[in-house]
Chain A
């Protein structure tokens, strides 16, 4: 965890494409957020971007209307995402694909709610948000690295705590987990909210960094899909898996993805299907099969 954080703290001074670095940090954060909810509870959140967007708008509303300082507005980003998470807790009654579909639908509903032209006085509707007054990419980048570190700390905690073990037990068999004394509903909701706050912070710091964006930008389904593919590819319910996934796949994407993006969407779609069917534990499982315990 520390090496990754340190690397991304130092890299801007030796590598000039700061936007690319920032995107790496955002995806490392989101992939760990997906890891929390999918890796530890088994819910695959196809609408995960909803929390990212909620965070971006929570941040923007506070900056636009209350002229709040960005760091304070980041708190609002987290609160907005958690509020959306609480609103969506009934989805946890669904399982498997039904949960994923309902979650996707919920994120689209939030997108269309926020981009409603009638809400222009509040959210700027479909015309997008401009936060040029607080534009400060260097500070925003540093905070993004801190948010990523927070996400990593959460996953380290889940890997090593009783709470994380209880979540995995619920993922394996909810009835047996209840028989072990675990309050299944409560631990699921906690994991859901933890994963939503991670995406909310990421969304808030993204809004700060780019300062100008449209609803479609921060609610784009690419964020959900990328974060899920990266986490699945590397291997969920580990700390290293999602990091490996982001570095490899997002690295490849940036090398050749810009020239032919349509192929990448095709490849990523196919990857999700193949990974879920044949390699649910990701690349990490090749190492695990040799008896190595991967953190």
Chain B
């Protein structure tokens, strides 16, 4: 394990009425690294993000962020420490304008670099023309970008991206991939949960493959597809040979 990890998850367990959504999950993310989190449906990827972002408190295990234990802290406290996220189904403030959506995060996000300019941030995600429109009028891809804008306004050191690519066209995919790489180059660490393997290959430095709430593989995507256990999980035991 890298000694310079920004996030270190150890033996993390999350139960939903006895169902082990996370079953002693361990992984780490280095500073400036883009980690892909992949696995079949229900393997615990989104639950992992929900626990790390404070939406759920874990039953056991530890989450060390930037050298401090943060497991179980509430979301807004984690945001102030530098963890933010986007949602699989975008969750903007529907009746507020795009600009107001970002203004809330600028006002309350405690961005360590100081308050960002809302107009510039929206422009960087191609939302400037929609700034004064209610978020409800934006299409799904634009709402995802607005979620991202809200997260970026708080100046995260760790960004958790849950299925940002789903529903984007190929040109938008390339554009988003380039954006994420730019953020990482600037020092931000990113966890990408994604089903589109092309996108994962394009943006991630390393992947962790999950199954049944536990990590079964860590390495590059090219190595993952050679791994017997990974192939078994994705294609089923009968076909693995």
A binds B: yes
Binding site for B on A (CB under 8 A): 162, 165-166, 168-169, 172-173, 175-184
Q: How far apart sit A181 and B107, CA to CA, in the bound complex (Å)? A: 8
Chain A residue with Cβ nearest B93: A172
B-chain residues with CB within 8 Å of residue A183 when the two chains form the complex: 74, 76
The verdict on B105 contacting chain A, using a C-beta distance below 8 Å, is yes
Contact: B96 with A172, CB < 8 Å?
yes
Q: Name 30 A/B residue pairs within 8 A (Cβ), A-sorted.
A: A162-B103, A165-B100, A165-B104, A165-B107, A168-B100, A169-B101, A172-B96, A173-B91, A173-B92, A173-B94, A175-B55, A175-B75, A175-B91, A176-B87, A177-B104, A178-B75, A178-B76, A179-B79, A179-B84, A179-B91, A179-B105, A180-B104, A180-B108, A180-B153, A181-B76, A181-B110, A182-B76, A182-B108, A183-B74, A184-B76
Q: How far does the Cβ of B69 sit from chain A's closest Cβ, in whole Å?
A: 20
C-alpha gap A133/B100 in the complex (Å): 52
List B residues 27-80 near A (Cβ within 8 Å): 53-55, 74-76, 79-80
Q: Are B93 and A178 in contact (CB under 8 A)?
A: no
Asked whether B76 lies within 8 Å of A169 as measured between CB atoms, the reply is no
Query: How far is it, in angstroms, between the C-alpha of A181 and the C-alpha of B154 when the chains are bound?
Result: 8
Q: Which residues of B contact A (CB under 8 A)?
A: 53-55, 74-76, 79-80, 84-85, 87, 91-96, 100-101, 103-105, 107-110, 147, 150-151, 153-154
Q: Considering the chains assembled together, what is the distance between the CA atoms of A162 and B105 in angstroms?
A: 10
A176-B87, A180-B153, A181-B76 are known contacts; what are 12 more A-B pairs with Cβ within 8 Å?
A165-B100, A165-B107, A168-B95, A172-B94, A172-B95, A176-B91, A177-B104, A179-B76, A180-B79, A180-B104, A180-B109, A181-B79
Given contacts A173-B93, A178-B74, whether A162 and B85 have CB atoms under 8 Å apart is no
* B107 adjacent to A179 (CB under 8 Å): no
| Neighbouring B residues of A178 by C-beta, 8 Å | 54, 74-76, 79
Contact B92 A176 (CB under 8 A): yes
Q: Are B96 and A180 in contact (CB under 8 A)?
A: no
Kindly state the separation between the CA atoms of A222 and B112 in the bound complex, as whole angstroms.
50
A181-B80 in contact (CB<8A): yes
For A166, what are the chain B residues with a Cβ–Cβ distance below 8 Å? Answer: 104, 107-108
CA distance A80 to B117 in the complex (A): 43
Q: When A and B form their complex, which 8 residue pairs have the shortest distance between CB atoms, in order from nearest?
A: A178-B75, A181-B108, A172-B93, A180-B105, A181-B109, A162-B107, A176-B91, A181-B79
CA distance A183 to B75 in the complex (A): 9
Residues of chain A contacted by B154 (CB below 8 angstroms): 180-181
Q: What is the bound-complex CA distance between A194 and B94, given in angstroms?
A: 25
Residues of A within 8 A of B107 (CB): 162, 165-166
Q: How far is the CB of A92 from chain B (nearest CB, A)?
A: 15
Contact A179 B100 (CB under 8 A): no
What is the CB-to-nearest-CB distance from B43 to chain A, in angstroms, rounded to a whole number?
A: 22
**Cα–Cα distance between A189 and B99 once the two chains are bound (Å):** 26
